[in-house]
Structure 1
Amino acid sequence: MEMALMSGVRENKCRLRRFLAIILCYGVMACAIRQSENAGINAETQLTRAQWHARLNWDVSDCPLASPDEAGPGVVMHGFGADTRIIEVQCERWAYQGSYLFYLDKDGAITQLSFEQFEAPDAGRLERYHSALVTGLPSVIADEQALDVFRKYRGIGDCGQFLRYRIEAHAAVLKQLRVRDCEALPADKPIDTQEWPLKNPDEEK
């Protein structure tokens, strides 16, 4: 009886050691994968503006080769799900907003995104156009697979446009358009864009 008990204890210890060895192996592999991924990301963060341009090949007539960010290349990478990132390129910087290009990097395949947008030549009138160049203040919302753009008509931000795009497959699809025309005098403080009038993009020109 004692020998059988001791044999069972030894067998359990062997199983435990094998289990721990497997866990350790997986841990080492996961660590190696993370280090490899981080090495790739770190290498990309060291790219110059010219190197990013060579990789993305944007039109310099829309987006200058010179970075508007004196401290860096003006390129930001956003995690956007498994093996997917959004590459944001700032083209120009003005007093209260700027212009940007966006690329979808999925499993190493890079696609430039184009956006349905609207000019406002007069109060109450919008004119539709499509362009890869986005003007405003963009925000990447990774957990919603979305990109928001707040386009100010003036610095206080009490009027302008709010556009929400969903990134579906390899395209940016406009899902929400809110517009608030400027009044004669600026508001005392910014107004929440979600309180702005909601527009139906299909009804605009």
Structure 2
Amino acid sequence: MPADTLKQVEPDNAGAFVVRPYSLTAPELGGLPAVLASAPTPVLAWVRYPATADQVHGHALAWTPRAVYIEWEGEGTHRAWVWASAVERPATSDKADSSTPPQQQANVLTVLNTQPAVALINAQLTQNGSEFVASMTQPAGPFGVVVFGSIEGEPVRLALSVNAATDMCAVGLSNLVSKEILSERAAPTFEEAIEAFPWAAALDALAPD
């Protein structure tokens, strides 16, 4: 269904003046189709008000590549569209502590927190005498990020995402020059997906003799 058919919902305040949060407009949603969640997906999201921005615990009900339709409680039930970059999957303790080992942090996936997953990837690449050097990170829909960088001087695109319906974690590596997908793997955790990824074969495909 078109994303703009999912409208903003606000609680009935019996005529009292209450500051309403912003929801993305139809032009901002861009006419993109919305994917409906098979079940409400817990998220943390930044919601903008006229003078403030609040991070709320809520649920993703639908999403497009650029936006997420969320529901949260706050003196009633609210529903609104927010930018995908404002949404993340909550960690069990709300945020990963810097002292948490990379293996545990790696499933807390945000644009600002790709380092644990990259550290696990480089632990695998080191065994093959290589290293992934990250240069730029950007969101890829509500539950994914893309990290651009290079391996042995070859430009690559590393995709990390979580399937909200199945909670499976996916890792993909692409050659930015040829646009070829070198390989992909999915598993219950990023650690398992990274360990199962065929790094040696991907490196051979990236820089064939």
**Bin for the TM-score computed over the shorter chain:** 0.3 to 0.5
Structure with the higher helix share, 1 or 2? 1
Greater radius of gyration (CA)? 1
